[in-house]
Amino acid sequence: MLSIFSPSNYAPFNIALEEYILNNFQEDCFLLYINEPCIIVGRFQNTLAEINYQWVQKNQIPVVRRLTGGGTVFHDLGNLNFSFLMNNAEDDTVNFARYTAPVLAVLNDLGVPAVLQGRNDLTIQGMKFSGNAKLVQNGKTLQHGTILFNSHVESLTQALKVNPLKFSDKAVKSVRARVTNVIDHLSEPMKLGDFIPLVRKKVNSLYPESRDYSLTIDDREAVQALVDAKYGKWDWNYGKSPQYNLASAIRANSGTIEVYLDVSNGIITSLRIFGDFFSSRDIKELERSFSGIAHNADSVREVFEREDYKSFVGDAELDELVAAMF
């Protein structure tokens, strides 16, 4: 087994690294990485329905869709992520016990009563500190998880605070659980940098043939190419969302403006605008101009600007109109 610690804190790079290892390494791998603040969305989820879009945009938080299913999670520099990338296809895609056992063993050795609870959560006294997901594909298994060690929980709350009435879709929504940090349950203070070697040592003891591996220049270039082609792209991170509908309203200087969108594969298929504003042009012209436009802020803003939006909806701020579309 190769034991790898990612040299990057950039979420698109680290999620791409998992796919690169899965598809290119012949040996089993244990990967650890730490991301700067970001949101990681499950493979089959509607990205916009999982995040606080305005907060994410304001704070310039990367949003990345991963290969595995499951729910949406927030990462920051107080969060350790671990992945087992194994060259065997497990029959059971539901049992997460095998690859969470080393993490639980380390914590139990430190006196923390951590357990696997339910299908894929690790908890301490009923509070979640780790969510886990799994993929079995092409004869290989990827199982990865988070460890909230000393994460900024308030940021997590803000990043994933979404209005449940705003979206209508069939995508499975994340269940928000009460969370906790490992550091709050340790009998003595410990830094994440001191916790990491304990996890690596435990894995090494379970896989005696394991050895440390550092990414080569070729590895890094290949991973970056995958970021450029996929994990850094709107098409993958947002556009792969299932079909959904969005309803929103704002109170502008010109009156109330309501927007209703239908979106499929990240593309706006229809838009309806209602309200008590006054318009000098047929609102249907503006509505039709959005058909076939990517549902992202830059594209939406461009259409509003190009179509002289104030001639349709009166004195409204462009930023608030754009925000209403998400």
My answer on whether 174 and 306 are in the same domain is no
User: In terms of Cα–Cα distance, which of 78, 129, 139, 90 is closest to 107?
Assistant: 129
CA distance 46 to 167: 9
My answer on whether 284 and 137 are in the same domain is no
Query: How many separate domains does the chain show?
Result: 2
Instruction: Give 54's pLDDT tier (boundaries 50, 70, 90).
Output: confident
Residue 246 parent element (H or E):
strand 244-252
pLDDT at 178: 85
pLDDT in tens, 13-49: 999 999 999 999 999 999 999 999 999 999 988 888 8
Residue 196 CA, chain-centre distance (Å), reads 23
Say yes or no to pLDDT of 268 above 90.
yes
> Could you tell me the CA-to-CA distances from 268 to 114, 169, 239 in Å, in that order?
45, 14, 10
The average confidence (pLDDT) of the chain is: 91
Coil, strand or helix: which one is 147? Answer: strand
Q: Is 291 left (phi over 0), alpha (psi -120 to 50) or beta?
A: beta
Instruction: Give 156's pLDDT tier (boundaries 50, 70, 90).
Output: confident
pLDDT in tens, 184-234: 999 999 999 999 999 999 999 999 999 999 999 999 999 999 999 999 999
Beta-carbon count within 10 A of 232 CB? 19
- Amino acid identity of residue 253, one-letter, is N
pLDDT at 89: 72
My answer on whether 298 and 178 are in the same domain is no
For 205-236, the DSSP string reads HHSTT-EE----HHHHHHHHHHIIIIITSHHH
User: In terms of Cα–Cα distance, which of 268, 266, 305 is closest to 287?
Assistant: 268
My answer on whether 271 and 223 are in the same domain is no
Of 77-81, 102-106, 159-163, 169-173, the one with minimum mean pLDDT is 169-173
pLDDT at 190: 96
My answer on whether 268 and 216 are in the same domain is no
pLDDT in tens, 279-313: 888 999 999 999 999 999 999 999 999 999 999 99
Residue ranges making up the domain that contains 166? 2-237
How many CA within 13 A on the CB side of residue 188? 4
Residue 178 CA, chain-centre distance (Å), reads 18
My answer on whether 129 and 260 are in the same domain is no
pLDDT at 160: 84
- Amino acid identity of residue 274, one-letter, is F
Q: For residues 3 and 200, is the Cβ–Cβ distance under 8 A? A: yes
Q: For residues 269 and 244, is the Cβ–Cβ distance under 8 A? A: no
My answer on whether 74 and 223 are in the same domain is yes
CA distance 155 to 149: 14
**What's the CATH code of the domain at 293?**
3.30.390.50
> Could you tell me the CA-to-CA distances from 302 to 152, 246, 262 in Å, in that order?
35, 20, 19
Query: Is the alpha carbon torsion for 145, 231, 72, 23 positive or negative?
Result: negative
Beta-carbon count within 10 A of 5 CB? 15
My answer on whether 101 and 138 are in the same domain is yes
Q: Which residue has the higher pLDDT, 174 or 59?
A: 59
Name the domain boundary from 237, 270, 292. 237
My answer on whether 74 and 108 are in the same domain is yes
My answer on whether 158 and 254 are in the same domain is no
Query: Does the pTM exceed 0.75?
Result: yes
My answer on whether 189 and 279 are in the same domain is no
Instruction: Determine the average pLDDT of the residues in 63-72.
Output: 92
pLDDT at 92: 63
pLDDT at 6: 98
pLDDT in tens, 81-132: 999 999 987 666 568 999 999 999 999 999 999 999 988 999 999 999 999 9
Name the domain boundary from 205, 237, 269. 237
My answer on whether 254 and 215 are in the same domain is no
Which two three-digit tokens encode residue 96? 């997460």
Residue 122 parent element (H or E):
strand 121-124
pLDDT at 318: 95
Say yes or no to pLDDT of 170 above 80.
no
Name the domain boundary from 183, 214, 237. 237
CA distance 69 to 22: 16
